[in-house]
Amino acid sequence: MTTDAPPPPGGTETRPEQPTTESFVEVQESAEFGELRRTYRSFAFPLTLAFIAWYLLYVLLSNYAGDFMGTKLFGNINVALVLGLGQFLTTFLIAWLYSRHAAEKLDPKAEAIKSRMEGDA
Amino acid sequence: MSTPATVLLAAGSASEHRPLIITLFGAFVVATLFITVWAGRQTKSAADFYAGGRQFTGFQNGLAISGDYMSAASFLGIAGAIALFGYDGFLYSIGFLVAWLVALLLVAEPLRNSGRFTMGDVLAYRMRQRPVRTAAGTSTIVVSIFYLLAQMAGAGVLVSLLLGITSDGGKIAIVALVGVLMIVYVTIGGMKGTTWVQMVKAVLLIAGTLLITFLILLKFNFNLSDLLGAAATNSGKGTAFLEPGLKYGVSGVSKLDFISLGIALVLGTAGLPHILIRFYTVPTAKAARKSVNWAIGIIGAFYLMTIVLGFGAAALLKNSDIVASNKAGNTAAPLAALEIGGGAGSTGGAILLAVISAVAFATILAVVAGLTLASSSSFAHDIYANVIRRGKATEKEEVRAARWATVLIGVVSIALGALARDLNVAGLVALAFAVAASANLPTILYSLFWKRFTTQGALWSIYGGLTASVVLVLFSPVVSSKPSSMFPGVDFAWFPLENPGLVSIPLGFLLGWVGSLLSKEEPDKGKYAELEVKSLTGVGAH
């Protein structure tokens, strides 16, 4: 492998045995890994597009819909402030949703593949 | 200029508070130097120096990420922007937070699983090593130096204001002091020392902000609406102060500029090398995920508090006083601290002012240390070990090169920071985000997720995105033509936007795609299999 110099003897970083490139290709083409990839991508990609779109919508509203944003809801709290705080809320929410998805759906699948490959190597 | 508070901070008569500020700051320096020496004793291998031994917990790393990310620009800059422009200052802060979702969902875990020490490890994984490592190293060093320069020059201005130092020699001495401390932290303490400095700083920053926020809210009986109302009235701008538009909405160009800035912030964070290397300090991808979650919580809470801080400053202080002290509003938060503590001349005010000022110093030091470490790591690991020595350098030689690179980068940034002390270099931070989003993020995402990506695609994307951002900024109002420019006296600005992101980010993505499709070389299928399987499962992770 040309990525890194091999650690010199006595190097402190311990590292599991590296499987061969062939076994990586085999795993990459396996149905089990395909399932892990799909479970990850079908969750993370649309969610990424969604939060970027939601952020852009907020920026565009701030830029071009001043009257709407200035609408007072109660006291001195207007739509602009509520939508801004809404960005905080959705950020926290998405972080939580993703972490739950990862812990429940991704980690077990990833762990299964990892332990088998490292066991084989 | 007539109130005591303004005179105090603006006209150099801060001597009354100087001993207290210097004592607190000195305590921080002594404590962090102890930590650095302690960390240095445990720094033996390359993994210790670059990645702090990969033994930090998710929470510790989340704190350190927050400490690395919340610069003086976000602490004093955002509070100041809110104090002067109301809602638009708050609007500015949101991009910095939302950005973390890109890091969480797409970058942190795959990077931790497949890289070792630098951003270049992941960018070059599937590619021909030497050209891509060179490109990744170049981009890392450019981004970090821009960011560093903004912080160093900012430190000079800020410290002069807070301590009432006006002489040129004094400002240069401050820049040199910051530079020397950061060299010491990084060369001796490596990543372990830097991480602890950042954690201590994050705790101090949050505690200081929490205290001022609490006192301001107490004054308004915890009624946010009343606070906003008082800010709107006192600002002299009425309800417009609570609506978007005062800063970014003044013209069609400024609106476009804000869209450009917003995109650069959201997409740039996950491409900042000094942030990316923090993910290597934890043992697993799961811990990397946990660290981003903690960072989102801490940074989010911090920006929520800056709302109170900024609007509080607007409600408590005269607009003319804020502007008189610093045109960009950078001293609004310390002034608000002074006011809420009892005003000029009171002991409470003096203590709070000193606390906030010391926190600002700590903030600058922690951020510059992280930036220096990122650039010297990339120099040593990407350029020295893998390009110059073609992967044949020993760990010892590599770490020695990293230490020397730190000294070199430190000396260069002291020199540049001293030269730039009177230029307005705040725009360089936005430029760093734009380069990160245009040159680094496309290559990271294509590398991880697109099987047809090639060496040529990576090079086009990195160099194309980098060149486009830098050239566009060079010919933008950031550098010339406006009173707020770096060189206000000349005009060679033909690009109207201050932030190049709107053009350079799509260009970076486009070049990576076209460069790959036009490539004569087939993508390396075996290497992609390795990278993809590793990035999603953590097989064979360091």
Number of domains in chain A: 1
With vertex at residue B128, the alpha carbon angle to CA B125 and CA B132, rounded to the nearest 5 degrees, is 75
Q: Which residue, among A18, A114, A117, A118, would best test binding to B if mutated, counting the most B CBs under 10 Å from its CB?
A: A114
Q: Tell me which residue of B302, B270, B278, B285 sits closest to B195, measured CA to CA.
A: B278
Structure tokens, B428: 């360089």
What count of Cα atoms within 13 Å lies in the side-chain half-sphere of residue B371? 29
Task: Compare CB distances from B106 to A44, A80, A117 and report the shortest one's residue.
Answer: A44
What dihedral angle (degrees, nearest 10) is formed by the CA atoms of A66, A67, A73, A75?
A: 80
Residue of B nearest to A112 (CA): B537
Place of tokens 């990397």: B288
Q: What is the pLDDT of residue B421?
A: 78
Task: Compare CB distances from B45 to A12, A25, A96 and report the shortest one's residue.
Answer: A12
Q: With bands split at pLDDT 50, 70 and 90, how would you rate the model's confidence at B15?
A: low
Contact A94 B101 (CB under 8 A): yes
In chain B, which residues have their Cβ closer than 8 Å to the Cβ of A93? Answer: none
What is the span of the domain harbouring residue A43?
31-120
Q: Tell me which residue of B523, B538, B531, B539 sits closest to B121, measured CA to CA.
A: B531
Residue of B nearest to A108 (CA): B537
Contact B97 A51 (CB under 8 A): no
What count of Cα atoms within 13 Å lies in the side-chain half-sphere of residue B149? 24
With vertex at residue B383, the alpha carbon angle to CA B537 and CA B447, rounded to the nearest 5 degrees, is 35
Query: For residue B104, which phi and psi values (nearest 5 degrees)?
Result: -70, -50
In this predicted model, what pLDDT tens digit does every residue of B332-350 receive, in sequence order? Answer: 998 999 999 998 888 898 8
Q: What is the pLDDT of residue B383?
A: 95
Task: Compare CB distances from B262 to A59, A91, A106 and report the shortest one's residue.
Answer: A59
Contact A91 B97 (CB under 8 A): yes
Per cent of chain B over pLDDT 70 is 97
In chain B, which residues have their Cβ closer than 8 Å to the Cβ of A76? Answer: 225-226, 228-229, 232, 239, 242
User: How confident is the model over B2-12, as a mean pLDDT?
Assistant: 42
Q: Which residue, among B55, B92, B94, B133, would best test binding to A if mutated, counting the most A CBs under 10 Å from its CB?
A: B94
In this predicted model, what pLDDT tens digit does every residue of B485-519 receive, in sequence order? Answer: 888 899 999 999 999 999 999 999 999 999 999 99
Q: What is the pLDDT of residue B4?
A: 44
In this predicted model, what pLDDT tens digit does every residue of A58-114 receive, in sequence order? Answer: 999 999 999 999 999 999 999 999 999 999 999 999 999 999 999 999 999 999 999
In this prediction the ipTM stands at 0.93
Structure tokens, B173: 């001495």
Contact A5 B529 (CB under 8 A): no
With b for 16 or more beta-carbon neighbours within 10 A and e for fewer, the B466-504 pattern comes to bbbbbebbbbbbbbbbbeebbeeeeeebebebbbbbbbb
Flag whether A114 is in a domain.
Answer: yes
CA B276 – CA B46 distance, rounded (Å): 17
In chain A, which residues have their Cβ closer than 8 Å to the Cβ of B391? Answer: 2, 4-5
Contact A81 B125 (CB under 8 A): no
Residue of A nearest to B539 (CA): A114
> Among the listed ranges A38-42, A54-58, B387-391, which one has the minimum average pLDDT value?
B387-391
Other Cβ atoms less than 10 A from the Cβ of A120: the count is 11
CB-count burial class (<10 Å; 0-12, 13-18, 19+) for B404: middle
Q: What is the pLDDT of residue B5?
A: 45
pLDDT above 80: residue B12:
no
Average pLDDT, chain B: 91
In this predicted model, what pLDDT tens digit does every residue of B38-50 receive, in sequence order? Answer: 999 999 999 999 9
CA A34 – CA B530 distance, rounded (Å): 14
Contact B393 A81 (CB under 8 A): no
Note which residues in 57-96 of chain B have CB less than 8 A from chain A: 87, 90-91, 94-95
User: How confident is the model over B172-183, as a mean pLDDT?
Assistant: 92
Query: For residue B466, which phi and psi values (nearest 5 degrees)?
Result: -65, -50
How far away is chain B from the Cα of A88, in angstroms, using its nearest Cα?
7
Note which residues in 303-322 of chain B have CB less than 8 A from chain A: 303-304
Contact B87 A80 (CB under 8 A): yes
pLDDT above 70: residue B144:
yes
In chain A, which residues have their Cβ closer than 8 Å to the Cβ of B224? Answer: 77
Note which residues in 273-292 of chain B have CB less than 8 A from chain A: 286, 289, 292
How far away is chain A from the Cα of B259, in angstroms, using its nearest Cα?
7
- Contact between residue B253 and residue B497 where contact means Cβ atoms under 8 Å apart: yes
Q: Is B445 on the interface with A (CB under 8 A)?
A: no
Place of tokens 């005179």: B7
CA B482 – CA B256 distance, rounded (Å): 18
Q: What's the per-residue H, E or C state across B361-389?
A: HHHHHHHHHHHHHHHHHHHHHHHHHHHHC
Q: What is the pLDDT of residue A9?
A: 41
Other Cβ atoms less than 10 A from the Cβ of B397: the count is 17
pLDDT above 80: residue B283:
yes
Residue of A nearest to B248 (CA): A63
In this predicted model, what pLDDT tens digit does every residue of B232-258 receive, in sequence order? Answer: 999 999 999 999 999 999 999 999 999
User: How confident is the model over B518-534, as a mean pLDDT?
Assistant: 95
In chain B, which residues have their Cβ closer than 8 Å to the Cβ of A28? Answer: 528-529, 532-533
How far away is chain A from the Cα of B288, in angstroms, using its nearest Cα?
11
Q: Is B239 on the interface with A (CB under 8 A)?
A: yes
What count of Cα atoms within 13 Å lies in the side-chain half-sphere of residue B399? 22
CATH fold label, B4-39+47-537: Sodium/glucose cotransporter (1.20.1730)
Note which residues in 100-139 of chain B have CB less than 8 A from chain A: 100-102, 104-106, 109, 116, 121, 124-125, 129
More confident residue, B174 or B460: B460
Note which residues in 241-260 of chain B have CB less than 8 A from chain A: 242-245, 248-249, 255, 258-259
Per cent of chain B over pLDDT 90 is 75
Q: What is the pLDDT of residue B14?
A: 53
In this predicted model, what pLDDT tens digit does every residue of B256-265 receive, in sequence order? Answer: 999 999 999 9
How far away is chain B from the Cα of A84, in angstroms, using its nearest Cα?
7
Q: What is the pLDDT of residue B3?
A: 44
Where is B537: in which H helix or E strand?
Answer: helix B525-537
Q: What is the pLDDT of residue B74?
A: 76
Name the H helices within A1-121.
21-29, 31-64, 66-69, 79-101, 107-120
Task: Compare CB distances from B300 to A44, A59, A91 and report the shortest one's residue.
Answer: A91
Q: Which residue, among B133, B227, B530, would best test binding to A if mutated, counting the most A CBs under 10 Å from its CB?
A: B530
Task: Compare CB distances from B249 to A5, A63, A107 and report the shortest one's residue.
Answer: A63
User: How confident is the model over B178-198, as a mean pLDDT?
Assistant: 95
In this predicted model, what pLDDT tens digit does every residue of A13-40 receive, in sequence order? Answer: 556 678 999 999 999 999 999 999 999 9
Q: Which residue, among A1, A28, A73, would best test binding to B if mutated, counting the most B CBs under 10 Å from its CB?
A: A28
In chain A, which residues have their Cβ closer than 8 Å to the Cβ of B129? Answer: 2-3
User: How confident is the model over B175-202, as a mean pLDDT?
Assistant: 95
- Domain borders along chain B are 4-39+47-537
Task: Compare CB distances from A15 to B101, B396, B542 and report the shortest one's residue.
Answer: B542
Place of tokens 């001195």: A76
CA-based max dimension of chain B: 73
